[in-house]
A and B are shown apart, each in its own frame.
Chain A
Amino acid sequence: MPNEMVPVLRGTVLDEEGSFTLEQLCRICRLEKKVILTLVEEGVLDPEGEDPATWKFPGTSVTHVRIVVRLQRDLGVNLQGAAVVLDLLDRLALPGRRGR
């Protein structure tokens, strides 16, 4: 039951629909632009639009970037390896497995 003394917070759902600009994604993930650009070049992220200035990233991009960063930091996985892991996680996230 909600505690009535505390205000109710509304967050942002990181789904396929919500969309972030390149600047917003950099700020949320605390990464420099060039890192995000590399993730797009490598096909890890797939923004809508041609021009980086008007790119729109789905909300799930935030989750994907965070997983890639953690795999690199914690396990020393390189970008290609992290991309493979992401693809596999996406496939496993279908029925039965709780998606991450």
Chain B
Amino acid sequence: MEYKDYYDILGVSSDATQGQIKRAYRKLARKYHPDVSEAADADQRFKEVGEAYEVLKDVEKRAAYDQLGSGWQQGQDFRPPPDWDAAGYDFSGGGYTTADAAHFSDFFESLFGGAGAGGYRTAGGPFAGRGEDIDAKVTIDLEDAYGGATRSLTMHAPEVTPDGRITQRTRTLNVRIPKGIKQGQKIRLAGQGSPGLGGESGDLYLEVEFSPHRNYRVEGSDVYLDLPVAPWEAGLGATVKVPTPSGNVDLKIPAGSQQGRKLRLKGRGIPAKSPGDLYVVLQVALPSADSRKAKKMYKQMQEEMDFNPRAGLGV
């Protein structure tokens, strides 16, 4: 297993005071709290910081940890010393003091997990023994939101074996992603969270994310498409074929359209009880002036059209 440098994780020196440790923890906990952090690995960092604080905030655990010596590096392969159990420290009431003990690393487990009978205590109350809720993410394509899809998920959840050890259990779930789902929405799957310790299982909360699409942008239930058009299509008007997530449609471009004009296809966004709209944003594309003929036509426009694209800038 990997050695954890708890001082390094909290960004404090090994002779930091308890006050310094607490302040460092508070700061990092706010920074990496999964509900407010934008960091991709926030979940992992938050757990790491919590584990480091669990050890360093407790004078006895900290002293025991310090006994390992300073010769270790973060991530280095680690085995606890053979006489570790006899180290003489009493972690009163078991090794853990939080309900999230199952998230702690093997490293923590090997040092503090065996202390006291019964492993760890969960938060009390009427729901002790019930499994934890799990939050996970599933990535789908925009097209899946239009038609619905089924996704297969592999879950790794900590599980407590009858003899009190914590192991990782892997299971596969097939989940129906309903038509009309939106970016960031959550699907609750009752009883699909962590199995309980003699109680019922927790729930699984699945957050839906859309993978980036090469054609479309999504805002809520509205979908945006940048549509390249030729200058004469924008100027003279035209009917052109436009891709949408639910198939191609013919779109009428009104004469006299300008760059950036937004055309709304009502109800062609993400389908739902109140379906979103599809916005087609015109992007005027210019033909290259790379032939004699093309150059001649640009030249003719220059001479015959009274056009100052910078009139709005006052120049």
Q: Check B29–A75 contact: CB distance below 8 A.
A: yes
Interface size range on B against A: 35 or more
Total A-B pairs in contact (CB under 8 Å)?
Answer: 95
Taken residue by residue from 11 to 39, chain B's Cβ proximity to chain A (1 for < 8 Å, 0 otherwise) reads as: 00000000000000010011001111010
Given contacts A8-B175, A74-B29, A85-B36, contact A98 B183 (CB under 8 A): yes
Cα(A2)–Cα(B174), bound, Å? 6
Q: Check A13–B187 contact: CB distance below 8 A.
A: yes
Q: Check B172–A71 contact: CB distance below 8 A.
A: no
Q: Check B35–A100 contact: CB distance below 8 A.
A: yes
Cα(A52)–Cα(B304), bound, Å? 74
Cα(A87)–Cα(B15), bound, Å? 40
Q: Check B183–A9 contact: CB distance below 8 A.
A: no
Q: In chain A, what residue has the closest Cβ to B180?
A: A13
How many chain A residues have a CB neighbour from B under 8 Å?
Answer: 33
Stretch at the interface among B79-87, B201-209, B237-245, B246-254: B201-209
Q: Check A67–B35 contact: CB distance below 8 A.
A: yes
Query: Cβ of A98: which chain B residues have Cβ within 8 Å of it?
Result: 183-184, 207, 209
Q: Check B173–A6 contact: CB distance below 8 A.
A: yes
**B295 interfacial contact with A, CB 8 Å:** no
Query: Cβ of B174: which chain A residues have Cβ within 8 Å of it?
Result: 2-3, 6-9
Given contacts A70-B35, A100-B35, contact A6 B172 (CB under 8 A): yes
Q: Check B33–A74 contact: CB distance below 8 A.
A: yes
Cα(A10)–Cα(B150), bound, Å? 10
**A51 interfacial contact with B, CB 8 Å:** no
Cα(A66)–Cα(B186), bound, Å? 12
Cα(A14)–Cα(B190), bound, Å? 12
**B219 interfacial contact with A, CB 8 Å:** yes
Query: Cβ of B189: which chain A residues have Cβ within 8 Å of it?
Result: 9, 11
Q: Check B186–A9 contact: CB distance below 8 A.
A: no
Cα(A94)–Cα(B183), bound, Å? 10
Given contacts A13-B181, A75-B30, contact A2 B186 (CB under 8 A): no
Q: Check A71–B35 contact: CB distance below 8 A.
A: yes
Q: Check B185–A2 contact: CB distance below 8 A.
A: no
**A63 interfacial contact with B, CB 8 Å:** yes
Q: Which of B171-222 contact A (CB under 8 A)?
A: 172-176, 178, 181-190, 192, 203-207, 209, 219-220
Interface pairs A-B: 7 shortest CB-CB: A99-B184, A11-B187, A11-B189, A8-B174, A2-B150, A14-B186, A2-B174
Q: Interface residues, chain B, CB within 8 Å of chain A?
A: 26, 29-30, 33-36, 38, 46, 50, 127, 130, 133, 150-152, 172-176, 178, 181-190, 192, 203-207, 209, 219-220, 273
16 A-B contact pairs sorted by A residue (CB < 8 Å): A3-B172, A7-B174, A9-B176, A9-B189, A11-B175, A11-B206, A17-B273, A30-B130, A62-B186, A70-B33, A70-B35, A71-B35, A74-B29, A75-B29, A98-B183, A100-B184
- 15 additional A-B residue pairs with CB within 8 Å, beyond A9-B173, A14-B185, A85-B35: A1-B152, A2-B151, A3-B172, A8-B175, A9-B175, A10-B175, A11-B188, A11-B189, A12-B188, A28-B190, A30-B127, A66-B133, A74-B29, A74-B46, A98-B209
Q: Interface residues, chain A, CB within 8 Å of chain B?
A: 1-3, 6-15, 17, 28, 30, 62-63, 66-67, 70-71, 74-75, 85, 89, 93-95, 97-100
